[in-house]
């Protein structure tokens, strides 16, 4: 089993892309059916950590986009519907 931070420099987080690649690898191993029960449980736990890392990165990106789009540009006041998500 690998650590979701493995492959990243010490003190840094795994990138979204790398976490997604690792999650895909784990899912592939589980779907292959070539692992025993104990290994499957360990892989599932590992996959959950990669999934959590992906969700955290996506949440941070969404928050940043919302911050960047929160202010109306001059001349656009009232054009944007605040209830409507940016995507």
Tens of pLDDT, residues 16-62: 999 999 999 999 999 999 999 999 999 999 999 999 999 999 999 99
pLDDT at 42: 97
| pTM as predicted | 0.67
What confidence tier does 3 reach under pLDDT thresholds 50, 70, 90?
low
Burial 39-61 (b: 16+ CB within 10 A, else e): eeeebeebbebbbebbeebeeee
Distance of alpha carbon 50 from alpha carbon 56, whole angstroms = 10
Q: Tell me the per-residue pLDDT of 63-81, one tens digit each, with 9 for 90 and over.
A: 999 999 887 555 555 555 6
What confidence tier does 9 reach under pLDDT thresholds 50, 70, 90?
very low
pLDDT at 75: 55
């Amino acid at each position: 089993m690998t650590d979701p931070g493995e492959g990243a420099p010490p003190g840094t987080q795994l990138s979204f892309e790398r976490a997604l690649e690792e999650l895909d690898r784990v899912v592939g191993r589980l779907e292959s059916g070539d692992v025993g029960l104990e290994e499957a449980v360990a892989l599932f736990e590992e996959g959950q950590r990669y999934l959590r890392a992906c969700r955290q990165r996506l949440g941070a990106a969404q928050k940043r986009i919302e911050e960047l789009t929160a202010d109306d540009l001059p001349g656009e006041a009232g054009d944007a519907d605040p209830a409507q998500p940016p995507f």
